């Protein structure tokens, strides 16, 4: 080994390696969150369509509407919407950290 070669990485190299690993972890997390957000959007859209069909008074008389079912579907939609807003907030934070 030549006298000018240093077999031990410098503190700067170690720090850069740690940042590189952390950024890669952020990118993986961002990919997962984007996938989850897409899935949640699809599920919310499907629930919204189902709720609309269940509330269509041109197909069902008002007194026969499945209110309990729609109420449950609405609760599920709100829950998924809350999950989506949390995921979008995390996506925004990670994108700022990676830029």
Give tens-digit pLDDT for 59-76.
999 999 999 999 999 999
Q: Kindly tell me if the per-residue pLDDT of 6 is higher than 80.
A: no
Question: Cα–Cα distance between 12 and 54 in angstroms, integer?
Answer: 62
Question: Cα–Cα distance between 36 and 28 in angstroms, integer?
Answer: 12
pTM above 0.85, yes or no: no
pLDDT at 16: 78
pLDDT at 59: 94
User: Would you kindly state where each structural domain of the chain is located, as residue ranges?
Assistant: 37-99
Contact status, residue 32 vs residue 94, Cβ threshold 8 Å: no
């Amino acid at each position: 080994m030549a006298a000018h070669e240093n077999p031990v990485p410098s503190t700067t190299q170690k720090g850069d390696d740690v940042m590189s690993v952390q950024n890669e972890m952020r990118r993986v997390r961002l990919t997962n969150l984007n996938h989850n957000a897409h899935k949640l959007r699809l599920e919310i859209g499907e629930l919204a369509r189902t709720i609309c069909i269940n509330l269509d008074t041109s197909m069902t008389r008002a007194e026969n509407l499945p209110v309990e079912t729609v109420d449950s579907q609405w609760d599920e939609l709100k829950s998924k919407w809350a999950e989506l807003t949390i995921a979008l907030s995390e996506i925004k934070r990670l994108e700022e950290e990676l830029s």
